[in-house]
Chains A and B, each alone.
Chain A
Amino acid sequence: MTRFAPGTHFPRASGSSTWLPLIDVHGSAPDSLADNPIDLRRAEFHPAGDRHVSQEELLAWRSDLKDWAHDRGYPSALNTERRSAWDVDLGTKLLDDTAGLPEAMHPDVWCWIATHLLPHFVAYRWDWPALKEGAPPTGRSEWARFGPDLRNGLRLAMHRILTYGPDLAARASEQEFQSIQNRPAFGLNQRVARVVMQTLVDAYDDSNSNYGKNGGTRALDNNDVCIELRVINSLRPLCFASDDSVIEIVKQVVERLPDLRTTEGRASKA
């Protein structure tokens, strides 16, 4: 349940230089940014937003999130297993705290939050972007984990929970998430993405399935399957197919994986 009053609007960051405020703090230990000052007077709000969130509300939220994070081992280093658990817990927590707000999914809102309010959570999970010639990088792409698109570290955690649910999200690998996410032609449709992912992680657990076994790896097989699904989707849109049909199509592709490994491999080398 959201902790904010219904109809609360959040500040937004948009444009090509949203990352600029982070240049000065690049490389800082995440926890040292937990009390970073924020300035709502110079933040954009949607003109139709009657109720703007207050500075006090945002700082109280950040403080609660800090306690919540410390209960989950923050800021000690993450290994692969803890990283996955952190992603699931963070995505669930942020979704719960902002559920039902008018801009709960707005990319510019999460860009502002990642840049100004919670940069320490993004840096903790994804680290700072690599230095370029000894200096913090400049440009949107390098700072994408703090930006508006789905590479934003906070949006990504929420999107995975929203799309797959906590149980399925905990079973999937980072490559599987990215492989589907990078095929928006079918991956944007959350029902389709969920059915594809469910079929694939089930296939990975099935000793009789080719997926991730019999000469293949989970990451590369997933990439091959998603390439093939994108081709099928262009002629036979998965969004207009029932769950059962999508499952059937994915299973047929997995059956053909031994051939696809060869052909897709040849195609990518070419």
Chain B
Amino acid sequence: MPLELRPGWCLSDEAVDQAISLGDWIVADTGRPALTNDGDDWKPGDSITMSRSVELKSDPLDVRRQLDLAAGQMLGIAARWSCRATSTAGVHSGGPIPVPLADNVNLVLDVPADIAGSIEIETCLVVRWTVDDRPSDACPDGALAWSDGWTKPISERTILLEGAEARIPVRTVSFEQRFDEPSSSLWAIDLDTSIEPDDLLANVVTVLLNRDVMIRDFRDADGEPDPAQLPPSALAGISVDLVRVLTSALAEELDGDEDWTELADGTVGQMLVLRLTEAFGSVSTALADHERDQPSFSRHLWNRFAPDSWRTQK
């Protein structure tokens, strides 16, 4: 049983749950729950606005009774965010003073762009006094009465902003504008021509998605390209294409004596050797296949990257 060290004025989760209903934190731009964000939902320089609904489960007088508030005492609801990576923090819009809990409200966090990594959010109930002559044993004005941080682990209050480093950049561009001819191709691999094994993959390789096709087939509610809608078969095709293109570009160097598994994480060489070994058993087998029998080479790559199902949901 956990040791209870909180002052007597603090409220339990059960008491708060009986009195008010808290909605999920919803990101304004996407309409999706903020806590489902992954490293692809944010990029540096983006601010985030999110809100959560706060609804009283009964009329305000009943809520006061349920929460055992004294005369002259009221509760305010407030939220705070913090970003340890950039050493910044802030509170809800309209803050710092908590929003009076007298009616249904929408709690809003406007998190500025000076953030990175992840942000933690916390919702709190804070005591306010409307009278000066409060009881001598009463809690002070501004005392914390409840926080979801007391029982919710930090992982359930953390919004992920950035995922792993060294991902391959994906850009959506019109192939008609970029390559000067109409194209129904969904993707193309863009490679730095002077690529070397110890280059970081993220710096020299880009996956281009054709905006013209994306708008036609994979658009979101606003009509904008939405890569999240790409089916697994397309993602597998991109992976196969990427390994095939890189193998062609680096075949001569791959044939040498150097052990590319020793290269740093995220480098072209390390990724390529790992993928070829997965698909062919060894780099030498992969190279032999690549030189002798391109269809066999491609088939082996498809064996490795094929999706669990080719069926496309309609």
Q: Which residues of A contact B (CB under 8 A)?
A: 7, 9, 12, 14, 40-50, 52, 101-108, 148, 150, 159, 181, 184, 188-191, 234-237, 239-242, 245
The interface residues of chain A lying within 8 Å CB-to-CB of B199 are 41-42
User: Do A105 and B114 form a contact, CB below 8 Å, given A188-B87, A236-B144?
Assistant: yes
Smallest CB-CB A-B distances: 3 pairs? A102-B45, A48-B43, A102-B44
Interfacial residues of chain B within 50-107, with CB under 8 A of chain A in the complex: 76, 78, 80, 82, 84-91, 95-98
Q: Is A46 a contact of B44 with CB atoms below 8 Å?
A: yes
Given A106, A235, A239, which contacts B86 in the complex, CB threshold below 8 Å?
A106
User: Do A47 and B169 form a contact, CB below 8 Å, given A41-B204, A239-B96?
Assistant: yes
B299 at the interface (CB under 8 A from A): no
CA distance A7 to B126 in the complex (A): 40
CB distance from B95 to the nearest CB of A (A): 7
User: Do A190 and B88 form a contact, CB below 8 Å, given A106-B44, A241-B96?
Assistant: yes
The interface residues of chain B lying within 8 Å CB-to-CB of A107 are 85-86, 116-117
User: Do A12 and B165 form a contact, CB below 8 Å, given A46-B43, A47-B202, A102-B44?
Assistant: yes
User: Do A239 and B91 form a contact, CB below 8 Å, given A44-B266, A103-B44, A106-B86?
Assistant: yes
Known: A43-B200, A189-B91. 7 other contacts (CB 8 A): A41-B200, A48-B44, A49-B44, A102-B44, A106-B44, A188-B84, A245-B142
Interfacial residues of chain B within 131-165, with CB under 8 A of chain A in the complex: 140-144, 162, 165
Q: Is B89 a contact of A240 with CB atoms below 8 Å?
A: no
> How big is the B interface, by class?
35 or more
Give 1 or 0 for each of B104-135: 1 = CB within 8 Å of chain A CB.
Answer: 00000000011111000000101000000000
The interface residues of chain A lying within 8 Å CB-to-CB of B89 are 188-190, 239
CA distance A7 to B44 in the complex (A): 9
* Pairs A–B under 8 Å by Cβ, sample size 27: A40-B203, A43-B203, A44-B202, A45-B202, A47-B169, A48-B43, A48-B169, A49-B44, A50-B171, A52-B203, A102-B44, A102-B46, A102-B113, A103-B116, A107-B86, A189-B80, A189-B91, A190-B88, A234-B144, A236-B140, A239-B90, A240-B78, A240-B80, A240-B91, A240-B124, A240-B126, A245-B142
B168 at the interface (CB under 8 A from A): yes
The interface residues of chain B lying within 8 Å CB-to-CB of A184 are 82, 84, 87
CA distance A7 to B142 in the complex (A): 41
CB distance from B174 to the nearest CB of A (A): 15
The chain B residue with its CB closest to the CB of A245 is: B142
Q: Is A237 a contact of B165 with CB atoms below 8 Å?
A: no
CA distance A103 to B165 in the complex (A): 15
Q: Is B169 a contact of A237 with CB atoms below 8 Å?
A: no
The chain B residue with its CB closest to the CB of A233 is: B144
Q: Is A47 a contact of B97 with CB atoms below 8 Å?
A: no
The interface residues of chain B lying within 8 Å CB-to-CB of A105 are 86, 88, 114-116
The chain A residue with its CB closest to the CB of B46 is: A102
The interface residues of chain A lying within 8 Å CB-to-CB of B198 are 42
Interfacial residues of chain B within 178-214, with CB under 8 A of chain A in the complex: 196, 198-200, 202-204
The interface residues of chain B lying within 8 Å CB-to-CB of A148 are 85
B170 at the interface (CB under 8 A from A): yes
The interface residues of chain B lying within 8 Å CB-to-CB of A46 are 43-44, 162
CA distance A43 to B84 in the complex (A): 23
User: Do A7 and B200 form a contact, CB below 8 Å, given A189-B90, A237-B126?
Assistant: no
B256 at the interface (CB under 8 A from A): no
Q: Is A237 a contact of B87 with CB atoms below 8 Å?
A: no
CA distance A44 to B91 in the complex (A): 32
B32 at the interface (CB under 8 A from A): no
The chain B residue with its CB closest to the CB of A102 is: B45
CA distance A150 to B84 in the complex (A): 9
Q: Is B114 a contact of A237 with CB atoms below 8 Å?
A: no
CA distance A237 to B266 in the complex (A): 43
CA distance A159 to B126 in the complex (A): 30
User: Do A104 and B97 form a contact, CB below 8 Å, given A42-B198, A188-B82, A237-B80?
Assistant: no
CA distance A16 to B157 in the complex (A): 26
CA distance A107 to B124 in the complex (A): 29
The interface residues of chain A lying within 8 Å CB-to-CB of B171 are 50
Q: Which of B95, B167, B200 has the most CB of A within 10 A?
A: B200
B223 at the interface (CB under 8 A from A): no
B31 at the interface (CB under 8 A from A): no
B166 at the interface (CB under 8 A from A): yes
The interface residues of chain B lying within 8 Å CB-to-CB of A43 are 200, 203
User: Do A239 and B80 form a contact, CB below 8 Å, given A46-B44, A48-B44?
Assistant: yes
Q: Is A235 a contact of B7 with CB atoms below 8 Å?
A: yes
Q: Which of B85, B124, B166 has the most CB of A within 10 A?
A: B85
CA distance A232 to B26 in the complex (A): 31
CA distance A176 to B233 in the complex (A): 58
The chain B residue with its CB closest to the CB of A14 is: B165
Q: Is A191 a contact of B113 with CB atoms below 8 Å?
A: no
CB distance from A177 to the nearest CB of B (A): 12
The interface residues of chain B lying within 8 Å CB-to-CB of A48 are 43-44, 169
